[in-house]
């Protein structure tokens, strides 16, 4: 570990951080669900950096002629302002891909426009730095460790001057808005990322925020969706729920789920479900999740995307709001 990182950490994290937490911060992890394979569809490969596993699963099972319409649907979920003609997030995504191809490819220029598919692995957007940049966006500052042991910094408005530090062997990207930093190092001519717990968690949260871009207002709530045996199961973390105190040691929560199934890109009829939960206050500490089980049948074989918008309506008003996606591949019996 380089000494310059200690200086950066003192700026980014509290002084009372424990030795154990410090070790975890810099321990490497497996790549957190970011694709390391390529397909024949480059638009999908790039977009998959911010897609959910459910969307990827449905896409994989669709006929080729339906796939582009399905990707358009996925972009629609990620439109921060549906009242405008332009999808601002999509345009920003394109700019990030262009930046990654310009600065992170071992060979200058965007290699996706020519050459065999094997060269995709050397395109800037497919590198570790490119993927992190595309998902998280431009950092507030970039720090560069040079071969002489010195390090230099670029502010966000200077990031197009990074050519000045092509000889750097390590980089640190400081994200004030996420209260974390991403670290990269070069070995044998290839750049790798250190997937610290902070980076993994931030990537997951940012991808989730993109999916919820069109919801307004976005209120604190997260959940997961699974489909099986003609049931939807919504897994809701207890620490995201606004319980009300019912007295006698009981806590209450109410939820409303609006489920819209899509067969490919074809929208089917939405359905609404409500459920009330009561748990003992003493059990809350031990219980990690509430499971909302919804009987749900799909009309015919096909690849379905299940768009679920969950509202925490405890107390009679919406105090939590979030979207999550599930997939269902229904085969002929």
The enclosing domain of 265 has a CATH number of: 2.60.40
Structure tokens at 119: 């060269």
196 and 268 share one domain: no
48 and 171 share one domain: yes
- Cβ contacts of 268 within 8 Å, gap of 6 or more: 260, 261, 262, 299
98 and 191 share one domain: yes
Question: What phi and psi, each to the nearest 5 degrees, are found at residue 217?
Answer: -80, 150
218: in domain:
no
219: in domain:
no
From 181, 270, 209, select the one nearest 77 (Cα to Cα). Answer: 209
The span from the CA of 63 to the CA of 303, in Å, is 10
Total domains, the chain: 2
From 295, 249, 245, 304, select the one nearest 275 (Cα to Cα). Answer: 295
173 and 269 share one domain: no
215: in domain:
no
Give me the helices (H) in 161-297, please: 197-211, 281-284
107 and 204 share one domain: yes
**Long-range Cβ pairs for the range 23-32 (8 Å, 24+):** 24/196, 24/197, 25/196, 25/197, 25/198, 26/1, 26/183, 26/194, 26/196, 27/196, 28/194, 28/195, 28/196, 29/195, 29/196, 29/197, 29/200, 30/195, 31/195, 32/195, 32/199, 32/200, 32/203, 32/204
pLDDT by residue for the chain (333 residues), tens only, comes to 443 443 443 333 333 333 233 222 222 333 554 555 545 577 899 999 999 999 999 999 999 999 999 999 999 999 999 999 999 999 999 999 999 999 998 765 444 444 445 456 668 999 999 999 999 999 999 999 988 888 899 999 999 999 889 889 999 999 999 999 999 999 888 899 999 999 999 999 999 999 998 887 656 788 999 998 899 999 999 988 889 999 988 999 999 999 999 999 999 999 999 999 999 988 888 889 999 999 999 999 999 999 999 999 988 888 889 999 999 999 876
Q: Are strands 151-155 and 141-145 parallel, antiparallel or unpaired?
A: antiparallel
312 and 238 share one domain: yes
146 and 228 share one domain: no
106 and 252 share one domain: no
149 and 105 share one domain: yes
What is the model's pLDDT at position 22? 26
Taking residue 2's Cβ as centre, other Cβ atoms within 10 Å add up to 15
**Domain end (from 160, 175, 210):** 210
Q: Which domain holds residue 101?
A: 3-210
Structure tokens at 176: 């004030």
91 and 135 share one domain: yes
């Amino acid at each position: 570990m380089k000494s310059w990182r200690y200086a950066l950490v003192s700026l980014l994290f509290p002084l009372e951080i424990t030795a154990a937490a410090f070790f975890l911060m810099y321990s490497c992890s497996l790549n957190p669900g970011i694709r390391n394979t390529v397909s024949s569809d480059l638009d999908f490969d790039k977009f998959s950096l911010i897609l959910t596993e459910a969307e990827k699963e449905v896409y994989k099972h669709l006929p080729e002629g339906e796939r582009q319409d399905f990707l358009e649907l996925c972009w629609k979920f990620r439109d921060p302002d549906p009242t405008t003609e332009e999808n601002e997030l999509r345009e920003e995504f394109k700019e990030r891909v262009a930046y990654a191809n310009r600065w992170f490819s071992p060979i200058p220029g965007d290699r996706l426009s020519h050459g065999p598919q094997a060269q995709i692995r050397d395109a800037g957007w497919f590198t570790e730095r490119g993927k992190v940049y595309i998902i998280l966006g431009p950092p507030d500052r970039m720090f560069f460790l040079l071969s002489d042991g010195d390090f230099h910094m670029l502010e966000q408005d200077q990031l197009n001057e990074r050519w000045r530090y092509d000889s750097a062997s390590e980089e640190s990207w400081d994200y004030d808005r996420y209260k974390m930093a991403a670290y990269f190092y070069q070995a044998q001519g290839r750049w790798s990322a250190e997937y610290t717990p902070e980076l993994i968690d931030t990537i997951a949260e940012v991808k989730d925020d993109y999916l919820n871009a069109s919801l307004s207002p976005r209120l604190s709530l997260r959940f997961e969706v699974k489909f099986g045996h003609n049931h939807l199961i919504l897994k809701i973390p207890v620490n995201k729920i606004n319980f009300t105190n019912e007295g006698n040691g009981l806590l209450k929560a109410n939820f409303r789920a609006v489920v819209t199934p899509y067969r490919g890109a074809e929208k089917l009829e939405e359905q609404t479900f409500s459920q009330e939960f009561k748990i003992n206050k003493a059990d809350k500490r031990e219980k990690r999740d509430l499971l909302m089980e919804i009987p749900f049948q799909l009309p015919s074989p096909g690849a379905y995307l299940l768009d679920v918008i969950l509202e925490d309506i405890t107390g009679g008003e919406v105090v939590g709001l979030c979207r999550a996606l599930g997939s269902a591949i229904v085969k002929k019996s």
